Each structure stands twice: as structure tokens, then as C-alpha cells.
Copies of this chain bind each other. A is one copy, B any other.
Amino acid sequence: MAGNIESPLLIRNENGFSPSDEDQYDVPSNRIHSNGDSIYDVNNGFGSNHQILEGQGTPYHAITRRHKQYKTWELNYQEAAIYLQEGENNDKYSTHPRDFNALPAYKIAHKKIFYALDLFAALLVMGLAACERPAVPFLTLPVGVHGSLELFGLLILALELGIRMKWLGFRTFIKHKRTLIKSCTLIIVFIETIVVIIRQHNHFRVTRSLRPLFLIDTYYCRGVRRTFRQILQSMPPIIDMLLLLLFFMLIFSILGFYLFSGIHGDAYFATLQDSFISLFVLLTTANYPDVMMPAYASSRYYSIFYIIYLSLELYFIMNLFLAVVYDTFSNLEKTKVKKLFFHKRLGCQHAFRLLVTKEDNKSIKLKHFLGMMKHLRPKKSRRDGYLVFKMLNMGTSGALTLEEFHKIYEAIDLQWMLKSDENIIWSSHFKYPFNRIFRCIHSFVKWKWFKRFIYFAIASNFLIILVETIQISVTIEADRHKITDRENWASVASTVYVCIYIVEAILKILGKGPAVYFTSGWDLFDFVVTGTSVIGLLGEFFDDSFYFIIVLRPFKLLRLFKVKERYRDVLGTLFVLFTRLISLAIVIILVYYFFAIIGMEMFLHTNLRNCCKNTSVEAYYKYSNDSTNQMYYYLNNFDNILESGVTLFELTVVNNWFIIMEGYAHHIGEWSRVYFMLFYIVMMVVMNIVVAFILEQFLFRMQYNRKMEVKDIEGKVLIKN
């Protein structure tokens, strides 16, 4: 939607001033005259250094003065831009570059390319988990190679830390907790890597599980950092509720032990420890009717014990747990938003102090504003800076007050287009016959009957796919051994439909213009779906080994969601929340990584085939060359990072997780239960935070929408009256 303004006339000289150099001789309030009446206290920053230079009695004639002023202003612009950037990135102001000499280091560390390098190094070091022993088969690397790669990554990270130390100074560096933890981890991992390279052998390296710390610290993962911080901050009430949960569990396990240890054949409550483990698993419902059945067979009334336990722990306390998590989480969210707001304001105030002149310390002139903008957004044109200034400047004074300057963050990243742009589509500048044609296409694409036809096409396509699949299903059922007969699947209908979709996509691209089409969420979604349909169709026609793309066909049905309002809302909200959901997903992946590394180190090469003889989970681990009647649970191992991930996902889903736990407890030792139980508790907390997050965000959106509507109605009523 971004259009650029052609006419330079737009920069009018409305308030009797121009962006020219008429204020060449004005003096920044804080530099030359350190006894100036600045209202803000200069407590840090590299101004002080400069003031000493000033005090050395340099000659005071016009040309050097002008030159010096220019240099002073440049420094002020730079520092103001840094303050605003710190406000934007939520960096602490105590990590502000300590003096003029630290500035180059600061500037390097805050370059995009350096951010990217940092991220790359962190990802490289994390990714090595797939190549080290136990490696994913096709990614296996020799010890020397992955050791060197790790060393390379760690060196980049160390470089980043070194630069940071340069501009922070040693004292602040030590005080900044996150940096300190990162440094310590780096040193440990570094030593271990060198040991690995020297010995050419991977020892027991649980410290690898700390690698996510490097990723969390990168610039691009600030959302992840925030989510982690929120999780850590909501721990105290969560721990209280966990204790309540465990306390009840303990009481019930004592009770269960007394009640059921006498029942013959009830192995679940044989000892107090068994009793506790059974009830822990019962909290996850994973062993539910099974754990009750022996007692239930002995007396029907024993079911009361389980009903009370589950009603209390699962349905009451767990929901209470969610309520506490939700409450804490949404409060933290509110506090965070407030804090960010004030942090930004503080940044504005610091910057403001640096941009006012000694003569007028209540407002910023355009010239100084543009000077600062050049450092804050180097890529933006002078015109963009001027427009931001005009937008902020509500009064007629031609200078920004502090109050106006506070709003800079709202205006700084706006994109501007000419007012007449609204009716202009991308094809307006084409030559005569073409601009008419493209405008027709544009109108046609926006025509409601065109949209309806597309919806109808999708719906009918859905029915045809369904009918087709049912037919295939019936055929297979009738003749169980002719499954490979896939030729018929590419029906004429699906070809027709794919053609319709292609025509639609082409019309839309031509009508709306590629720039608009490929930046709209829904259109992009359409395009991807249509693209996969095309690939699927090609797959059907050409290559038999290509057949698996056929299964992507039903995905075009997802477009049906655009028909109904509520679903559009839901998916619209999904788009809005995308970045935050991604943060949450990354947090989960990092937790997985942590547990996967530990799991791999602890349970490496455990073969669970035919394990657990004479226990209740024996059947799950049975192994034979015959594929029927196998439960394949021995596949849930920690043999490499990807398989560990799948195993951990199974543990996250919770159902039957105890079977995996029992397998390892029998094969490795009872203590391994701690790993599984800890993982369950951690994931329970994380999953509750996921639920809390989704609840919070969607409730906010729904209530927001409703309130807007209500206001609308009230507005209408007011007009009526």
C-alpha cells in the first residue's frame, strides 16, 4: 500500500521556517555551556567527555565555533538516536554506551549484519546437536568437523560478547545478569569443545543443553526472551499451586496404599512409592480406568476413591491452576505494557534533552529533528523525516514540545502516500488501452458475484473430493490388495477446479497488482494453496514416485473458511498474533532441545525391544519380524535429536506417557522417572501458559471487537437524536 510522493512541493513553508540552515548558530543546551538551564539531568552518556574538551579554552572565533557546533550537534544527534533506539528495543539505559570512545563498538554491535551474524552463530551451535553423536543418520559429521564448527560459532559469540564488553565497560558488563550468564555458559561450553577436539571423542556433555541460552540472547529473539521472562516471573504462584497438587497427591497415595495394598492383583498400590507414582500418572489421566479396574473388580464402591481424587485434582485444582496461571500471566502482560510505555517515554526525554538548544530548551527545531532522524532511520529520506515532524507537530510554533515528541514511536515507521492515491491502482500508469483493461479486471475481481462463484467452486470441489475418497475407500475395502491402483485418482473434475483456481489467481494478480496481492495475508494463502494444488495435479499426471503430493489436494478446502464471519475473525486474529505465537513455539522448541540433549545423554542407545517382561507394559514393547500386533513403543527412543523430539512430543500429549516412562524405569533404573515427571511438570506449566496466552489474546480481541461495535451503535443513536 506504500506509495511515494512525487512532488517536492509537499514540503511547504507553512509556519514561516524552512529546513534550511537558518539556525546554524544555535547552541545545544547541554554541551558548550554546561551551566545551561537544561531541565534534564545529564547522568551518563558521552557528553561529559566532550565538555572537558570544551573547557580547555579553544579559540572562540566564528569559523571554528561553527565547525565545533556542527560536530557537537552531530554527536548529540547520534546519542539521541541511540536513546530512542534503546527505548524501542527495550534495552536498559544503564547499558547506554559509557563514553565517546565506546561509540564505534556500540554502533558495530547494533548493526543488522552483526545481529544476523550473532543469530547465525547461535543457530549453528544449536544445530550441531543433529550432527554430533548421537547424530541424525544422514547428517553425521566426524568429531573434528563438528568440533571445529562449534568452535567457530563460539568464537563469533565470544566476539559479540567482547564488543559488548567494550561499549558497556567491565563494571556494567558484570552487573548485567543476562550477559554474565551467557559469558559463564560460553566459557564452559568453550572448554568442553576444546576437550572434544583434543580427545576426538564426545564425552558426557549435558552442558550442550545450555546452548539455547545463546539463541535467547540474540536480538531477533527478544520476543522469546520476553516470553521466557514471563514464565519465570509467574513461577511463585505456580509453585504454590503445584505444592497443593502434590500435597493432595501425597494424602491420597497414603489413603490409596492403606485401601488397596491388600487387594490381590492390584500392583498399582503395592507400596507407598507405587501408590504415589500411580496417582501422579492418574493426575494426567493416562492410566485411568486401568488403575481403577482391579479395585473396582473387588468392590464397586472403591470407584468413589478415584472419582473424588479426579474431581478434586483434575477438575478442580488443575482448573484453579489454570486460573492462577492466567491471572498471573495477564497481570504480567499489563505490567509489561505499562513498563514498556514508560521506558519509551524515558528514552524520548533523554533524546529531547539532547536536541533542544540553549536558547529554547522547551522545543526541538526541525533541523535538529532531521539530524537525529538521519541516525535513527538512515534509510528514510529527508522527506519522510519532515512528514513525521509535521505529523507530531500539533501546534503552530514550528517546533516540537516534549509532549509532542513523546509520540515519535507512533509516527516513526508510518509509510506515506498521496491523498489522491486511494483511487489509483497499480495499473493506472499504464498506457491507454491497458489501464482501462486492467481497471476492468480490478472491478471484476472485486465484484461480489465473482467471489460467490469462487466460494461455490470451492464448496462443490470439497463435495467431489469427499465423494471420490469415499468411493476409493469402498473399493479398497472390497478388494484389500489393490491399493496401489492410484491412476484413477486424477479425475477430470480436479483438473477443472485447479484451472478455475489458476484463472482466479491470475486475474487477481493482474487486477490488484502483484505488490498488493503478495502482501495480503488471505491472497498469499490462496496463492500457496493453489500452488500446491497445481503441483499435486502435475504429480498425478507425470511421476508415480511423486504421488505423495496428491495428498496436499484437500488443503485447498481451507479457503472455505473465508465464507463465514466468525472463522474469518479467528483466522484474522491468528495472523495478528502470529509473531507472538511464533515466540511461544520457539520457547517450546528450546525447552524440547534442553530436555532432548539431557535425554540423549542419559538414555543413549537404550534398546527397549522386548523389554519389561512380566510387567503390565510388556505388550507395548513386544518386538517380532511380523508387523501385526506390534505396538512399536520401542521406537520411542532418544537416539538422535529428531527422534527425541518426537518422543518428547508424545510425552507432551501425555496420553500413555507412563508406558514410555515405565520402559526406561525398568531398563535404566527407577531414578529415570525423575526425568519424565519433571518434563511433565515443566510442560504442564508451559502448556498452561500457552492456554493462558491464547485465552488472553482472543478474549481481548473478541471484547475489543464487541466494544467497537457497541460504540458504533451508540454513535448511530447519538446521530439519530
A588 to chain B minimum Cβ distance, whole angstroms, is 10
Chain B CB count within 10 A is highest, among A254, A469, A636, for: A254
Chain B CB count within 10 A is highest, among A237, A619, A655, for: A655
For the complex, is A285 an interface residue (Cβ under 8 Å from B)?
yes
The 9 closest A-B pairs by CB, nearest first: A293-B632, A272-B473, A265-B627, A323-B698, A288-B655, A285-B655, A319-B694, A258-B551, A271-B473
Give Cα A636 to B293, complex, Å: 9
A573 to chain B minimum Cβ distance, whole angstroms, is 9
Task: Check A567 against B244 for contact (C-beta < 8 Å).
Answer: yes
Task: Check A319 against B691 for contact (C-beta < 8 Å).
Answer: yes
Task: Check A261 against B483 for contact (C-beta < 8 Å).
Answer: yes
Q: What is the interface of chain A mostly: helix, strand, loop, or mixed?
A: helix
For the complex, is A570 an interface residue (Cβ under 8 Å from B)?
yes
Task: Check A570 against B636 for contact (C-beta < 8 Å).
Answer: no
Contacting residue for A632 out of B294, B327, B551, B690, CB 8 A: B294
Give Cα A476 to B266, complex, Å: 14
Task: Check A653 against B551 for contact (C-beta < 8 Å).
Answer: no
Closest to A642 in B: B300
Task: Check B270 against A477 for contact (C-beta < 8 Å).
Answer: yes
Which residues of A, 612-643, contact B by the 8 Å Cβ criterion? 619, 627-628, 630-633, 635-636, 642-643
- With a CB–CB cut-off of 8 A, which chain B residues contact A359? none
Query: How many subunits of this chain does the assembly comprise?
Result: 2
For the complex, is A316 an interface residue (Cβ under 8 Å from B)?
yes
Could you give, for residues 99-141 of chain A, a 1 whenever the CB lies within 8 Å of some chain B CB and a 0 otherwise?
Answer: 0000000000000000000000000000000000000000000
Give Cα A717 to B284, complex, Å: 47
Chain A interface (Cβ within 8 Å of chain B)? 237, 240, 244, 247, 250-251, 254-255, 257-259, 261-262, 264-265, 270-273, 285-290, 292-294, 296-297, 300, 303, 307, 310, 314-316, 319-320, 322-324, 326-327, 465-466, 469-470, 472-474, 476-477, 483-484, 548, 550-551, 554-555, 557-558, 560-561, 564, 566-567, 570, 619, 627-628, 630-633, 635-636, 642-643, 646, 649-650, 653-656, 659-660, 687, 690-691, 694-695, 698-699, 702-703
Task: Check A264 against B296 for contact (C-beta < 8 Å).
Answer: no
Give Cα A374 to B577, complex, Å: 61
- With a CB–CB cut-off of 8 A, which chain B residues contact A250? 466
**Known: A254-B466, A307-B649. Contact between A289 and B554, CB under 8 A?**
no
Task: Check B259 against A551 for contact (C-beta < 8 Å).
Answer: yes
Give Cα A226 to B708, complex, Å: 29
**Known: A261-B483, A550-B258, A699-B326. Contact between A557 and B251, CB under 8 A?**
yes
- With a CB–CB cut-off of 8 A, which chain B residues contact A289? 633, 636, 650, 653, 655-656, 659-660
A-B contacts, 27 listed (Cβ < 8 Å): A240-B566, A251-B555, A251-B558, A254-B466, A255-B555, A257-B469, A258-B550, A262-B484, A271-B476, A289-B633, A289-B636, A293-B631, A294-B627, A296-B632, A297-B635, A303-B646, A303-B649, A315-B687, A319-B694, A320-B570, A320-B698, A323-B694, A323-B698, A323-B699, A327-B699, A327-B703, A619-B619
Give Cα A554 to B287, complex, Å: 24
Closest to A706 in B: B331
- With a CB–CB cut-off of 8 A, which chain B residues contact A656? 288-290
Task: Check B257 against A310 for contact (C-beta < 8 Å).
Answer: no
Give Cα A315 to B550, complex, Å: 27
A640 to chain B minimum Cβ distance, whole angstroms, is 10
Give Cα A561 to B694, complex, Å: 32
- With a CB–CB cut-off of 8 A, which chain B residues contact A469? 254, 257-258, 272
Task: Check A654 against B550 for contact (C-beta < 8 Å).
Answer: no
